[in-house]
Amino acid sequence: MVAIQTRYMDLLKPKKSLLMKGIHARCVAEGLGKPARETVEARLAVISKREQTKRRHGPKKAREDFNPIRGSLEAERALEIVQIDHTPTDVMGVEPDTLEVIGRPFITLAMDIRTRMYCGFYLTFDRPSASSVAACVAHAVMDKSDWLSTRGLPAKWPVAGLCEVIRSARTRSAAPSRRRSCPSRWRPHREKSASTSRSSTR
């Protein structure tokens, strides 16, 4: 059906109900019978997820999401590679006096690839940005003894110092010339760690 190729496949968040209305309107205009919803859904089912991603987000995104994963991100020593990513937390912030909902904060995490230890983090209600990365890196490299003591936390956090390479997720406000983005083939490892961190904030 033409409507599927010219309209449905070009929308980022298409609705089947709108697609059906468009198809029925076109059929009426051309004097054709209206197809059943099951018929349209059968046509949609044969379009691969890769093709949908390619049409809506471009061939590069389709390659990143669907090409076979090759290689892995490995380091031979601690702080050789630190990976940074952002994720929304699973909590909602509220204003303490009025209990008005402020929103869902974002957490930026820095993880050492060799030891799998989190080096630092940054929590904010602002969307991820270059500033989030900078604040997270500053926390990652600092000695955390005083930071823990000030908050009454007895646990040790034995990680500090400059890292050799920082790989960061893309952020809209980060200047391309100053960032080193994480290749897509390493994202599953990074996103799994971020997912674990979301659960631990509950």
Mean pLDDT of 175-198: 42
Q: What is the pLDDT of residues 45-77, one digit of tens each?
A: 888 888 888 877 788 888 878 876 666 778 999
Q: What is the pTM of this model?
A: 0.52
**Which residues lie closer than 8 Å to 129 by C-beta, 6 or more apart?**
171, 172, 173, 174
Average pLDDT, the chain: 79
The torsion angles phi and psi of 143, rounded to 5 degrees, stand at -75, 130
Give the pLDDT confidence score for residue 90 in this predicted structure.
Answer: 86
